[in-house]
Structure 1
Amino acid sequence: MKHYDYIFTGVGLAALMTVDQIIKSGKFAGKSILLLDENAKQTNDRTWCFWENGKGSWDKILTQKWKYVLFRNETFSRKLDLEPYEYKMVRGIDFYEKILKSISLQPNITFLNQKVIGYNKSAGKVVVKTDSANYSCQKLFNSIYDQIQVLEQKKYPLLQQHFIGWTIKTEIPVFDPNVATFMDFSVPQKGNTRFMYVLPVSNTEAIVEYTLFSKDLLPEAEYGEAISNYLSGLGIADYKILEKERGAIPMTSYKFWENNTKNIIHIGSAGGWTKASTGFTFKNAGKLSKQLVTFLQEKNNFRGFHQKSRFWFYDLLLLDILAGKNELGSKIFSAMFKKSKPALILRFLDGETTFWEDLKVIWQCPKGLFIKALLRRIF
């Protein structure tokens, strides 16, 4: 059984960002590292978006960026100037190629396309079993999400941000490539939190995505029907579907980090790195991967890595509300975006506001809903 210093089970966003930070640090050249995933990461299987102030490390692989986004519901529409931020988009394949190229140049890092079956602690080491071999390591970074552990507990609700997106190309110019549609709640809610998300990359091409924050997924045909109806409502009838993307992102304040041990850490969605209230992962993973690699240089026990903040509790209250009354999502997000300064909202969602700034954002939301949710949590 071959032994490694570090093994990554699952090679998604969080794992690749962490390995990228390991390489950039220049401090781990003497460590043997194994990456295990059944997927070779050679297809464009997803799209990530994030907001950022100024130039960033991913600018060279951006597909598009926007200074303006649109928020809309059935009664009002607001074009938001994100200054000083820009909303940026990265295609999965471009991200994979950038990181995997860097990994291929490192003699101490190996990437094997094998399916991980499980892992366990044995004699002070961690043993990982795949469909074709066993490996041991000193430190395990696991990003394979286990929904069962969340479903088996009742303290923290679990919703899904689930969606299907179409990349379409139209015959005539119909999109404004300078404005992304961040949330369009004007679509029928049907007892859920449902919205459209539009990312134009030119005046004839865009990703159009039907997204829900709810407990249960829909039949596949229902997503497509909603997108078709939305495009028809925009007067778009003649178009070609270039690509389709489907996903389901867990939204929960479950304390994943309590499952960490001295030598095993859960990262990505498996570690609670997804922003629970919005499903945004890319920027959060970037922050946490840097922190993790710094931590790894200084400390030896993964139990001490996670630091809980008040923003975790804010997310919990929102999810409590949506778990009980899922149809209220439009009302809550509309109240937040109707009058608040866009830059303040984005800093709040990033967990970078002061407590008094938190109150400015929260005060815009339906107060009764959050007070009731707070009281339920306290008592």
Structure 2
Amino acid sequence: MITPDYYYVIVGGGLAGLQLALTINRDLFFKGKKIAIVEPSSKSSNDKTWCFWEEGRGKWDHLVSQQWHKGKFITSELTKDLQLAPYSYKMLKSLDFYNYVKAELKNSEDIIFIKDKITNIDQVTRTAIGEKDNYTATHFFDSRPPTDFKNDEKSSVIYQHFKGITIQTDKDHFDPEVFTMMDYRIKHEESTCFTYILPLSKNKALIEFTFFTPFLTEDVVYDRKLEEYIRTILKIKDYKIIDSEKGIIPMTDYPFHKFNTKYVTRIGTAGGWVKASSGYSFKNTEIKVDKLIDNIKSGLKPSTNLFSKKFQKYDAIFLDVLEKRNDLGESLFTKFYTKNSIQDIFRFLDEETSFSEELKIMLSLYHPQFLKSFFNKV
């Protein structure tokens, strides 16, 4: 048999690919195993902002640009203060992450970066076929999402889509100690949508208008809602936009795991690593990478037991509810945040709760649609 070019090929140098490569590079078990990261982009811009909650200090604190210990949940009828301790809510810019990981990996004798776009992986010849060259390996970690997940009739798909702008004002308008998790005062038809605010200083904040919907929308809708929120809710007349970002995150119960084979493991969004019911990915990726590495070192298939079937079912039911009755979003999230402590919410979303705690949370959300969705997903 011809010796492969690489021990591993990581297809994609985004969040999942770089976290995986960094963890491999720091583990002596993989010393001497040649690894290629094949990515078409230079990853030289801040293409997204990741946020996550965490207890105490974490492994990424040196990259975190902002963190909060207090938050708010707001509707037209109420404001719920969120005291996060012992958690904090942390913000990390993607460019800081890319630069940090690439700087460390470029000093590695075992890992190389290749600028190319992989179009296919031939599992018979164990070859990743690129636009510029081909790459053979013993195993591939592939972050390219399958093309058919959006059209799978058995799966629910809710898109978390948003536009955020960082604004600067002449006067002080923000409390930099308190972020806004969800503010439902600006609405759009019969859909689940809210405003999200990360205050960076007294006169600077990232403001995002976010949808959790089965449909997408035009850019002008985000712009109008952001303008309406800033003018009517924040009462800010004069401001300057200093940065902006847009994103579409699929929240789905599509069975991405079915694409994992003896020679290919799907990672990141392509592996179903985005938490289906929330759209959060950063800490979820860290957890999946650690489990994947443990599996390899134990002689198991890399994708073994990466997911909790119980929590996958919870997510699937919740997504089905939002897909069938998207108008219920504000009501459901209001129950979620007002009838449960923020600590229990974080633990539930981190899949660390017991069944009795999960039952309490599910009962707090009750609506007849949940029963219909339960039987639709069993």
Which TM-score band applies after superposition, normalised by the shorter structure? over 0.9
In the alignment, structure 1 segments of 5+ residues that lack a partner are none
1:60 alignment partner, SS class:
coil
Greater shift, 304-313 or 176-185, is seen at 304-313
Asked if 1:99 corresponds to 2:101, the answer is: yes
- Cross-structure match for 1:225: 224
- Cross-structure match for 1:261: 261
What is the identity, as a one-letter code, of the residue corresponding to 2:34?
S
Once residues 336 and 308 of structure 1 are traced to their aligned partners in structure 2, the CA distance between those partners, rounded to angstroms, is 21
Structure 2 length-normalised TM = 0.96
The 5 Å alignment of 1:305-320 reads 305-320=305-320
Once residues 26 and 239 of structure 1 are traced to their aligned partners in structure 2, the CA distance between those partners, rounded to angstroms, is 51
1:96 alignment partner, SS class:
helix
- Cross-structure match for 1:10: 12
- Cross-structure match for 2:141: 141
Provide, for residues 107-163 of structure 1, a one-character-per-residue CA deviation record: whole Å limited to 9, x for no partner: 11011121222211124xx211111111111110001122x3213421111111001
2:201 alignment partner, SS class:
coil
What is the identity, as a one-letter code, of the residue corresponding to 2:106?
S
The answer to whether the 8 A contact 2:196-2:207 is kept is yes
- Cross-structure match for 2:88: 86
Once residues 307 and 79 of structure 2 are traced to their aligned partners in structure 1, the CA distance between those partners, rounded to angstroms, is 38
What is the identity, as a one-letter code, of the residue corresponding to 1:83?
A
The answer to whether the 8 A contact 2:56-2:88 is kept is yes
The 5 Å alignment of 1:109-188 reads 109-123=111-125, 126-146=126-146, 148-188=147-187
How far has the Cα of 1:377 moved from its partner?
Answer: 2.8
The 5 Å alignment of 1:24-63 reads 24-63=26-65
What is the identity, as a one-letter code, of the residue corresponding to 1:320?
D
Structure 1 length-normalised TM = 0.96
How far has the Cα of 1:2 moved from its partner?
Answer: 6.8
Provide, for residues 28-55 of structure 1, a one-character-per-residue CA deviation record: whole Å limited to 9, x for no partner: 1211100011111111110000000000
What is the identity, as a one-letter code, of the residue corresponding to 2:223?
G
1:206 alignment partner, SS class:
strand
The answer to whether the 8 A contact 1:262-1:303 is kept is no
What is the identity, as a one-letter code, of the residue corresponding to 1:112?
I
Once residues 327 and 372 of structure 1 are traced to their aligned partners in structure 2, the CA distance between those partners, rounded to angstroms, is 16
2:71 alignment partner, SS class:
strand
What is the identity, as a one-letter code, of the residue corresponding to 2:274?
T
The answer to whether the 8 A contact 2:288-2:306 is kept is no
Once residues 63 and 377 of structure 2 are traced to their aligned partners in structure 1, the CA distance between those partners, rounded to angstroms, is 43
How far has the Cα of 1:363 moved from its partner?
Answer: 1.6
How far has the Cα of 1:372 moved from its partner?
Answer: 2.4
How far has the Cα of 1:68 moved from its partner?
Answer: 0.8
Provide, for residues 65-90 of structure 1, a one-character-per-residue CA deviation record: whole Å limited to 9, x for no partner: 00011101121111100111000000
In the alignment, structure 2 segments of 5+ residues that lack a partner are none
Once residues 206 and 248 of structure 2 are traced to their aligned partners in structure 1, the CA distance between those partners, rounded to angstroms, is 17
Once residues 178 and 222 of structure 2 are traced to their aligned partners in structure 1, the CA distance between those partners, rounded to angstroms, is 23
Q: 1:224 to 1:60 in 2, by over 3 A?
A: same
The answer to whether the 8 A contact 1:256-1:272 is kept is yes
Structure 1 vs Structure 2: percent identity of aligned residues? 34
Q: 1:218 to 1:305 in 2, by over 3 A?
A: same
Once residues 342 and 264 of structure 2 are traced to their aligned partners in structure 1, the CA distance between those partners, rounded to angstroms, is 39
Once residues 229 and 258 of structure 1 are traced to their aligned partners in structure 2, the CA distance between those partners, rounded to angstroms, is 44
The answer to whether the 8 A contact 1:263-1:302 is kept is no
How far has the Cα of 1:302 moved from its partner?
Answer: 3.8
The answer to whether the 8 A contact 2:292-2:306 is kept is no
The answer to whether the 8 A contact 2:38-2:113 is kept is yes
The answer to whether the 8 A contact 1:44-1:93 is kept is yes
1:62 alignment partner, SS class:
coil
User: How big is the alpha-carbon RMSD for the aligned residues of Structure 1 and Structure 2?
Assistant: 1.4
What is the identity, as a one-letter code, of the residue corresponding to 2:161?
H
Once residues 176 and 113 of structure 1 are traced to their aligned partners in structure 2, the CA distance between those partners, rounded to angstroms, is 43
Provide, for residues 193-227 of structure 1, a one-character-per-residue CA deviation record: whole Å limited to 9, x for no partner: 10001001111111100110112221111111111
Once residues 242 and 118 of structure 1 are traced to their aligned partners in structure 2, the CA distance between those partners, rounded to angstroms, is 39
Once residues 338 and 78 of structure 1 are traced to their aligned partners in structure 2, the CA distance between those partners, rounded to angstroms, is 7
Q: Post-superposition, which runs of at least 4 consecutive aligned residues in structure 1 deviate over 4 A? A: none
Greater shift, 149-158 or 42-51, is seen at 149-158
What is the identity, as a one-letter code, of the residue corresponding to 1:270?
A
Paired residues, number: 375
Once residues 303 and 115 of structure 1 are traced to their aligned partners in structure 2, the CA distance between those partners, rounded to angstroms, is 24
Once residues 275 and 34 of structure 1 are traced to their aligned partners in structure 2, the CA distance between those partners, rounded to angstroms, is 27
Provide, for residues 229-253 of structure 1, a one-character-per-residue CA deviation record: whole Å limited to 9, x for no partner: 1000111121111111111011101
What is the identity, as a one-letter code, of the residue corresponding to 1:208?
I
